[in-house]
């Protein structure tokens, strides 16, 4: 006879169970494994040592000054809003999210927040989601700016793109913009994916850039690599709302900067 396990786990937890007696029932909490029955019919309540799992959303033991989990209730001053020419966004921090509220625009422009990109190799990650609609097109993602203080400079945007027709409703694309609202080239995409929330990652090793996505922050799929066309000065999170007639909302759960080219999972073992 097989054993029954009743468990509770949070998003993206990877929990390995072993050593339970046949017929024993258990409840997994966030930290402990609690037995509530045995094959012999007695009902002792015991607690074992906590199970370990990989948590991609956990800050490292020594987080960088660029990291942000958006728990301060207000935008950290290390960020600067990018909303040039004709402002169309409001930025807020609530419920552990950065929220970019983006009004509809006749010609969609990328807007959001940025901070200085340190020199050298790096890995940047955004955990992103969008509340949008099925009209027009809208997007959200991670951005490298040639110079975010100048809206005439170029941007590379690694993003999730919602667009009609419905066959391409949710996909990933990597695009170059010659300025904040002028499309220049599509480097990669569309790459279809099923998730509402997605981890987007950009890595640099020397002068090579690598663009990846993940559904869980652990396993990553690369969609493009190239030699950087210019040395980026800033990094950020952006949204776009092109002629939807409605407001869309970009939700960003975390932003992570690592001062090296990190190929493996983000987060920590807990």
What CATH number does residue 142 fall under? 2.60.120.200
Residues 173 and 259 in one domain: yes
Residues 134 and 231 in one domain: yes
Q: Which residues does residue 67 pair with via DSSP β-bridges, in sequence order?
A: none
Q: Which residues does residue 101 pair with via DSSP β-bridges, in sequence order?
A: 90, 249
Contacts of 159 (CB under 8 A, 6+ apart): 139, 140, 141, 142, 172, 173, 174, 175, 200, 238, 240
3-state SS, residue 168? helix
> Which residue among 52, 67, 94 closes a domain?
52
Residues 153 and 236 in one domain: yes
Residues 44 and 108 in one domain: no
What is the C-alpha separation between 124 and 132, in angstroms, rounded? 25
Backbone angles phi, psi at 46, to 5 degrees: -130, 165
Q: What tens digit of pLDDT does each residue of 186-239 get?
A: 999 888 877 778 999 999 999 999 999 999 999 999 999 999 999 999 999 999
Number of domains in the chain: 2
Residues 87 and 213 in one domain: yes
Cβ count within 10 A of residue 217: 23
Tell me the pLDDT band of 22, cut-offs 50, 70 and 90.
Answer: very low
| 14 found inside a domain | yes
Contacts of 173 (CB under 8 A, 6+ apart): 139, 159, 161, 186, 188, 189, 190, 191
| DSSP secondary structure of 53-108 | -EETTSPPSS--TT-B---SSS--TT-EEE--SS--EEEEEETTEEEEEE--BSS-
Residues 217 and 87 in one domain: yes
pLDDT over 80 (residue 171)? yes
Residues 92 and 203 in one domain: yes
| 70 found inside a domain | no
Residues 100 and 27 in one domain: no
Range of the domain at 240: 80-269
pTM: 0.80
pLDDT at 54: 83
| 71 found inside a domain | no
Residues 14 and 119 in one domain: no
| 73 found inside a domain | no
Q: Which residue has the higher pLDDT, 132 or 82?
A: 82
| DSSP-derived pairing of the beta strands 25-28 and 6-7 | parallel
Report, in this order, helix, strand and coil percent for the chain, each rounded to 5: 0, 50, 50
Residues 47 and 155 in one domain: no
Nearest to 139 by CA among 128, 125, 150: 128
| 28 found inside a domain | yes
Residues 184 and 258 in one domain: yes
Window from 57-66, 83-92, 127-136 with minimum mean pLDDT: 127-136
| 124 found inside a domain | yes
| 27 found inside a domain | yes
| 198 found inside a domain | yes
pLDDT at 165: 55
């Amino acid at each position: 006879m097989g054993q029954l396990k009743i468990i509770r786990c949070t998003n993206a937890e990877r929990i390995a169970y072993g050593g339970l007696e046949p017929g024993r029932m258990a409840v997994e909490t966030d930290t402990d494994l609690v037995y509530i029955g045995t094959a012999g019919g007695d009902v002792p309540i015991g607690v074992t040592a906590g199970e370990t799992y990989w948590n991609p959303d956990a800050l490292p033991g020594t987080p960088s000054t660029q990291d942000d989990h958006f728990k301060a209730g207000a935008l950290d001053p290390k960020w600067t809003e990018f909303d040039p020419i004709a402002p169309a966004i409001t930025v807020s921090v609530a419920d552990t999210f950065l929220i970019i509220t983006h009004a509809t625009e006749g010609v969609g422009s990328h807007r959001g927040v940025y901070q200085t990109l340190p020199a050298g190799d790096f890995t940047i990650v955004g955990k992103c989601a969008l509340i949008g609609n099925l009209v027009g097109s809208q997007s959200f993602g991670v951005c490298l700016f040639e110079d975010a203080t100048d809206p005439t400079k170029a941007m590379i945007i690694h993003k999730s793109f919602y667009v009609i027709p419905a066959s391409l409703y949710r996909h990933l694309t990597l695009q170059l913009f010659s300025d904040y609202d002028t499309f220049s080239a599509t480097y990669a995409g569309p790459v279809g994916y099923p998730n509402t929330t997605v981890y987007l990652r950009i890595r640099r090793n020397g002068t090579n850039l690598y663009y990846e996505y993940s559904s869980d922050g652990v396993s990553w799929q690369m969609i493009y690599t190239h030699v950087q066309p210019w040395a980026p000065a800033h990094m950020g999170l952006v949204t776009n709302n092109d002629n939807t007639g409605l407001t869309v909302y970009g939700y960003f759960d975390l932003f992570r900067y690592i001062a090296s080219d990190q190929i493996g999972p983000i987060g920590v073992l807990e």
